[in-house]
Structure 1
Amino acid sequence: MNDAPLWPSYDSPDDLNGIEATPLADRGLPQSTYHLLARAAELWPQRPAVLCLPDARQWDEPMVRNHADLLTEVHRTANLLYKNNVRRDDAVALLSPNCAELIVATLAAQVAGIAAPINAGLSHSHIRELLRRSSARILVAAGPELDPLAWAVAREIAASGAIEALFVLRPTGKSTTTELLRIDGVQVVYLADAASECEETRFIGSAPSRDDLAALFHTGGTTGAPKLAAHTHANEVANAWMIAANSVLDEDSRLFAALPLFHVNALVVTVLAPLLRGQAVVWAGPLGYRDPAVYSSFWKIVEHHRIAAMSAVPTVYAVLSHCPVDADISSLRVCLVGASMLPAAVRTGFESHTGVPLLEGYGLTEATCASARSFSAATRPGAVGQRMAYQQIKAVSIDERGHWTDLPDGQVGTLAISGPTVFAGYVVGRDASGYQLDGLGTLVDGWLDTGDLGRVDADGFVYLTGRAKDLIIRGGHNIDPAMIEDVLLQHSSVTGAAAVAAPDTHSGEVPVAYVTLTPGVATTEKELLAWTTERVAEAAAAPRSVTVVDALPVTDVGKPYKLALRADAARRVAARALIEVDDVEHIEGTVEDGAVVITVSVGVGSDESAVRSALDAYPIIWRITERV
Structure 2
Amino acid sequence: CGPREMMPPYAQHWDDFLKGASTVEPKTPISLLDEAALYFTSGTTGQPKPILLTHRNLEHACIVENRHHNQTHKDNFICIPPLYHTGAKMHWFGNFIVGAKGVLLKGVKPEWILQAISEEQGTLMFLLVPWAQDILVAIENGQIKLEDYKLDQWRLMHIGAQPVPPALIKNWKKVFPKQEYDTNYGLSETTGPGCVHLGIENSHKVGSIGKPGFDWDYRILDDQLRDVKKGEPGELAVRGPGVMSEYYKNPEATKKTLVDGWLMTGDMARVDEDGFIWLVDRKKDIIITGGENIFPVEIEDFLIENANIQDAAVIGVPDERLGEAVTAIIKLKPGKQMTEKDVEKYCEALPRYKRPKKIIFDDVPRNPTGKIEKPKLRKKYAGFAESFKL
TM-score, length basis structure 1: 0.56
Matched, 1:561 2:382: no
**What is aligned with 2:233?**
412
Mapping of residues 263-282 of structure 1, within 5 Å: 263-270=85-92, 272-282=93-103
Matched, 1:454 2:275: no
Tell me, yes or no, if the aligned pair for 1:501 and 1:569 is still in contact at 8 Å. no
Shift in CA distance, 349/201, structure 1 to aligned 2, threshold 3 Å:
farther
Tell me, yes or no, if the aligned pair for 1:395 and 1:455 is still in contact at 8 Å. yes
**What is aligned with 2:74?**
252
Shift in CA distance, 344/478, structure 1 to aligned 2, threshold 3 Å:
closer
1: distance between equivalents of 2:289 and 2:69? 47
The Cα of 1:359 is off from its aligned counterpart by 2.0
Matched, 1:518 2:342: no
**What is aligned with 2:359?**
546
**Comparing 481-490 and 362-371, the one that deviates more:** 481-490
Which of 321, 328, 331 is 1:506 aligned to?
A: 321
Matched, 1:222 2:44: yes
The Cα of 1:351 is off from its aligned counterpart by 2.4
CA RMSD of aligned residues (A): 2.8
Which of 347, 350, 355 is 1:536 aligned to?
A: 350
The Cα of 1:457 is off from its aligned counterpart by 3.9
**What is aligned with 1:493?**
308
* Equivalent position SS for 2:341: helix
Which structure 1 segments of 5+ residues have no match? 1-62, 64-171, 181-187, 430-435, 571-588, 597-617, 620-628
* Equivalent position SS for 1:441: helix
Amino acid at match of 1:536: L
Tell me, yes or no, if the aligned pair for 2:316 and 2:387 is still in contact at 8 Å. no
1: distance between equivalents of 2:297 and 2:17? 52
Amino acid at match of 1:562: K
Shift in CA distance, 409/478, structure 1 to aligned 2, threshold 3 Å:
closer
TM-score, length basis structure 2: 0.87
Higher gyration radius (CA): 1
The Cα of 1:509 is off from its aligned counterpart by 1.8
* Equivalent position SS for 2:28: coil
Tell me, yes or no, if the aligned pair for 1:343 and 1:495 is still in contact at 8 Å. no
Mapping of residues 68-467 of structure 1, within 5 Å: 172-174=2-4, 193-202=16-25, 204-246=26-68, 248-270=70-92, 272-285=93-106, 288-289=107-108, 292=109, 295-321=110-136, 322=139, 323-325=144-146, 326-355=148-177, 356-370=179-193, 371-379=195-203, 380-398=205-223, 403-428=224-249, 439-457=254-272, 460-467=275-282
Q: How many residues are treated as equivalent by the alignment? A: 380
Tell me, yes or no, if the aligned pair for 2:163 and 2:297 is still in contact at 8 Å. no
Amino acid at match of 2:187: L
1: distance between equivalents of 2:88 and 2:29? 23
1: distance between equivalents of 2:298 and 2:244? 31
Tell me, yes or no, if the aligned pair for 1:387 and 1:460 is still in contact at 8 Å. no
Tell me, yes or no, if the aligned pair for 1:454 and 1:462 is still in contact at 8 Å. yes
Percent of aligned positions that are identical: 26
Report Cα offsets for 1:361-415 as digits up to 9, x if no partner.
11111111112223333322321222201101221111xxxx2111233322111
**Comparing 514-523 and 362-371, the one that deviates more:** 514-523
Relative contact order, higher structure (CA 8 A, sep 6+): 2
The Cα of 1:418 is off from its aligned counterpart by 0.8
Report Cα offsets for 1:66-109 as digits up to 9, x if no partner.
xxxxxxxxxxxxxxxxxxxxxxxxxxxxxxxxxxxxxxxxxxxx
Shift in CA distance, 475/237, structure 1 to aligned 2, threshold 3 Å:
same
2: distance between equivalents of 1:488 and 1:256? 30
